[in-house]
Structure 1
Amino acid sequence: MSKTSRLGLLGDRDFGRLFAATALGQLGDRIIFLALPLVAVVALNADEFQVGLLAAMTTAGSLLVGLPAGAWVDRMRKRSVMISTDLVRALVLMTIPVAWWAGFLTVWWLCTVALVHGVLTVFFDVAYVSYLPHLVGRDNLMEGNSKLSTVRSVTSISGPTVAGPLVGLIGAPATLLVSSAGMAVSGLLAFTIRRHEPKPEPSEHPQLAREIKEGFTFVVKNPILRAIMLGDAIFNLFLVMYQTMLLIFLERQIGLQPFGIGLILSGMGCGALLGALMATTVSKWIGQGTVIWLAALVTCPLTALMPLARPGWSVYAAAIGLAALSLGGVIRVVAQSGFQQEMTPDRLLGRMSATTRFVSWGGIPVGGLLGGVSGSAFGATTTLWIGAAGMTLSVLPNLLSPLRTMHRLPTEKAPGFAGRDFMDG
């Protein structure tokens, strides 16, 4: 058996570089996930509403540029978008420790950086999802998505594990330098990928509104894509409500230090890693359509264990529920990503990704604000209960769609596919 056969896609140099770039970029992202709110909570003594506002600003880019981003990215080479957004995000993050050392860092500065970083992340993510079919070929999408989910899961473990001690050692603001470095190296690695996708054919009369409408209509009229999008929207809104108060609950009510919080989040990463390793096998065993709704139905209710926790062993028992949530979430995402990419023609990949992201992620800043308002009004514990209930209800759109009885991925190719098999040449 050849080395390429044993390693699969990892035996290809260009995919290996994308894999490495993903690892470093995601490591930076996971450190941000812990360090940025801790800058607000610990370094700036932010209150519940300010923490919720920061969470909202982090993802507000999906509402601001979510739909036009897809049309713009479909006009450009995706690899170039990924490189430029990685490098600019690295520079933006670097301003936080600089402002801290200069003595003028505020919550509003954090919110501004979070907003700019979030807008850039929209463009990166749309390009990233659209680039994979060009790089690996549609026949290899399940393997490609699974391997990239694996590396994201590994960084979900290592990110908080690295960030917790770093925050304790050098402080949350300085820890963001590590995130900045990860983003920068990720962009440089993407620059070394030699296989470029064809330059998109320019439209004779480009009209942004018409292009946006075409992508939006394509997704909304497809019952499978529509159900996946709506299920994700409900899940993400309540997940962010939950996550917004989770750090406050762990730090102020359970009394955990940054290292302990990082350990809890690393447990979630362990669940995500296990999910990535199991995703292909579970999808083949249960069926790709079935696993999309079943994974959420089984794992989301377990998040109710956390608001039941008290200082001591019970909080780590509750962390098992969070790990299960991550496990089910990754299995679901790998399966549904294959549906979304396979059913979308090449020329609409960017707009499909942007439309689903706009709707699915559009509720995230709303969830951050609602989490902050709910935390201020009812407390962190009650907000965790609300989040757990909402995440469980997110399974309904998929249960009420053809996915409920669809065992396998549709076999027909998406129209307009002009790619080649990944291993050819």
Structure 2
Amino acid sequence: MPSAVSDSSRPVPSSLWRDGDFRRLWVGQTASQLGEHASLVVLPLFAVLTLNASAGQLGVLRAVGQAPILLLSLFVGAWVDRWRTRTVMVLTDVGRTLALGAAAVAGLLGWLGLPALLVVAFAVGALSVFFDVAYQASLVRLVKHNQLVRGNSALEGSRSAAQIGGPALGGALVSLLSAPIAAASSALFFALSFLSIRRIRRRESIPKSSERPPRIWRRIHEGLRFVISDSSLRTVCLASAAFQFSFAAMMTVYLLFLPRELHLSGTTVGLALAATGPGALLGSMLAARLPSRFGYGSVLVSAAALGDGAFLCVPALHGPSAVTIPTLLAVNFVLGTGGQLVNVTVMAVRQAVTPDGMQGRAAATITFVGMGLTPLGSLLGGFLAEEWGLRASLLVTAAGMMLSPVLMALSPLARLGRALPASQDAPPTPAHPDPRNGPR
């Protein structure tokens, strides 16, 4: 595919930005990601700073918010392949706006305790699973195949901007004002996403299915079989699972380590976390150029090793904030750069090898396998922090993240060249089932 190689080395062409529907998707996804990243900081910081939550309670809160990934991803992928992604994204934006709006009201009335936070975290997490699968499938239906890398780079760049503003905004509002106001700010971003995405005009061409489509379990099985049969996608699942499990454990410890061991304020914690945003923005820009120059496999392995390895120095931090804070900013910047470079490159590979009728299920299967263990990782992080202490737990969980680049380096994924691989055929489904047998 020579055109993919030559085009992906240039910035996003003006023709893509002149596409009003792509622009509306970009604006809506940016607002949605900003609200999501703000809420991911608001709820844990409220629990730690206001409710004095223990390490175990924080682990439970994060696990509840991540549980929908494990419980719903496969079903969501099967459903999204049969729905219009615009409808899915609009409905999830409405749901998250209402959930966080209710949390803001409950907080103002003094009812926002840990049980309410658990309910809100689960609701927002469940709806975010729908949105994330839908917007990835939506891009494939909106742009041409040779624009996938550039389109993903643009969308992931917007997510990078959300990573800059979301944690900083969430941490500052919790610290300076209140958790209810911080929750309300996230709700406003989801409302903005709703207003933008609902204006997408292009009628989606949903992949054709049989008159009596396979039952949900068969569709899920087809998605699992497709991903397992492809060596690249199979490696993506394993490497993602190793990283996300360790990262979830590390972040539970990290959110305790910063305020309690390094004595940082909520605002400073938010700013430290937000440093991944500028790094991710750089990573998304590099993803439009580096794979076509050095090869997709080489970029994936080296970016993962650099980004994940940076966190190994965090447990050694002591001393004055004049040294600690710049170091945290640098570490999070490197993590953001490497992580985003991996995210964009992996997404382009996954979309390239997956047929249109399998996009939702492939994305959901990888999400399920890759992130399904994150609730257990969060619980493990809370347990280790209570049993081993914060520094030792942070070192162990950060070291666990390095398993991801090792798995990629030992797999066929590392040997991918400078061109995206071709799409493989989707598993066959019965186009004309025998009516005498009924639906299967």
Q: TM-score range by the shorter chain?
A: over 0.9
Give the match for residue 420 of structure 1: none
Aligned equivalents of 2:106 and 2:353: distance in 1? 46
CA distance in 1, matches of 2:248, 2:180: 22
What is the CA distance between 1:410 and its match in structure 2?
4.0
Question: In 2, distance between residues paired with 1:361 and 1:134?
Answer: 25
Which residue among 402, 414, 428 is the counterpart of 1:392? 402
Q: What amino acid maps onto 2:344 in structure 1? A: V
- Tell me the amino acid that sits aligned with residue 418 of structure 2: R
Matched, 1:371 2:378: no
The CA deviation string for residues 26-64 of structure 1, in whole angstroms up to 9 with x for no partner, is: 111121121110111112111110101111111100111
d(CA) in 1 for partners of 2:255 and 2:323?
16
The number of residues matched between the two structures is 413
1:212-251 → structure 2 map (5 Å cutoff): 212-251=220-259
2:155 equivalent to 1:148: yes
Deviates more, 1:49-58 or 1:392-401: 392-401
Cα offset, 1:414, TM superposition: 4.7
* 1:24-423 equivalences in 2 (<5 Å): 24-203=31-210, 204-312=212-320, 313-316=322-325, 317-415=327-425
Which range moved further: 260-269 or 225-234?
260-269
Per the alignment, in what secondary structure is the counterpart of residue 316 of structure 2? coil
Tell me by how many angstroms 1:130 deviates.
Answer: 0.9
Q: Structure 1 stretch 298-307 or stretch 342-351: which is displaced more?
A: 298-307
In structure 1, C-alpha distance between the alignment counterparts of 2:107 and 2:328, rounded to whole Å: 35
**Aligned to 2:264, what secondary structure does the other structure show?**
coil
Structure 1 CA distance for aligned equivalents of residues 291 and 224 of structure 2: 28
Is the contact made by 2:353 and 2:421 (CA closer than 8 Å) also made in structure 1? no
| In structure 2, distance between residues paired with 1:292 and 1:25 | 27
SS at match of 1:394: helix
**TM superposition shift of 1:22:** 1.5
Check conservation: 1:79, 1:196, Cα contact below 8 A.
no
- For the 8 Å contact 1:96–1:173, the answer to whether it is kept is yes
Contact 1:289 1:409 in 2 (8 A): no
The aligned amino acid for 2:324 is V
Query: How far, CA to CA, are the matches of 2:71 and 2:12 in structure 1?
Result: 44
Shift of 1:408: 2.7
Shift in Å, 1:412: 2.9
Give 1:162 shift.
2.3
The farther-off stretch of 140-149 and 205-214 is 205-214
State the distance in 2 between where 1:411 and 1:61 align: 31
CA gap 1:411/1:216 in 2 versus in 1, 3 angstroms: closer
Q: Is the 8 A contact 1:305 1:318 kept in 2?
A: no
Residues 306, 315 of structure 1: 8 Å contact kept: no
SS in 1 for 2:221: helix
Is contact 1:228–1:397 with CA below 8 Å preserved after alignment?
no
Distance 2:423 2:386 in 1: 50
- Greater displacement, 363-372 / 316-325: 316-325
Q: TM-score, normalised by structure 1?
A: 0.93
In 1, Cα distance between the equivalents of 2:425 and 2:208? Answer: 16
Classify the secondary structure of the residue corresponding to 2:332: helix
- SS of residue matched to 1:306: helix
| Cα shift at 1:378 | 1.2
Q: Which moved more, 1:247-256 or 1:398-407?
A: 398-407
SS at match of 1:45: coil
How far the C-alpha of 1:104 sits from its partner, in A, is 2.1
| AA matched with 1:324 | V
Paired position in structure 1 for 2:26 = 19
Unaligned stretches of 5+ residues in structure 1: 417-425
Q: Tell me the percent identity.
A: 37
User: Counterparts of 1:332 and 1:350 in 2: how far apart (Å)?
Assistant: 20
Deviation at 1:232, TM superposition (A): 0.7
Aligned amino acid, residue 68 of structure 1:
F
For residues 206 and 284 of structure 2, the distance between their equivalents in structure 1, rounded to whole angstroms, comes to: 32
Shift of 1:207: 1.0
Q: Is the 8 A contact 1:56 1:369 kept in 2?
A: yes
Structure 1 match to 2:6: none
* Residue 438 (structure 2) aligns with: none
Q: Is the 8 A contact 1:289 1:335 kept in 2?
A: no
| Shift in Å, 1:202 | 4.2
1:127 CA displacement: 1.1
TM-score normalised per structure 2: 0.90
| Alpha-carbon distance in 2 for matches of 1:210, 1:30 | 34
C-alpha separation in 2, matches of 1:237 and 1:100: 31
Of the structure 1 ranges 166-175 and 359-368, higher mean CA displacement relative to structure 2 is found in: 166-175
Q: Report Cα offsets for 1:342-373 as digits up to 9, x if no partner.
A: 10111111110110000001011111111111
Q: How far has the Cα of 1:12 moved from its partner?
A: 1.4
CA distance in 1, matches of 2:341, 2:15: 20
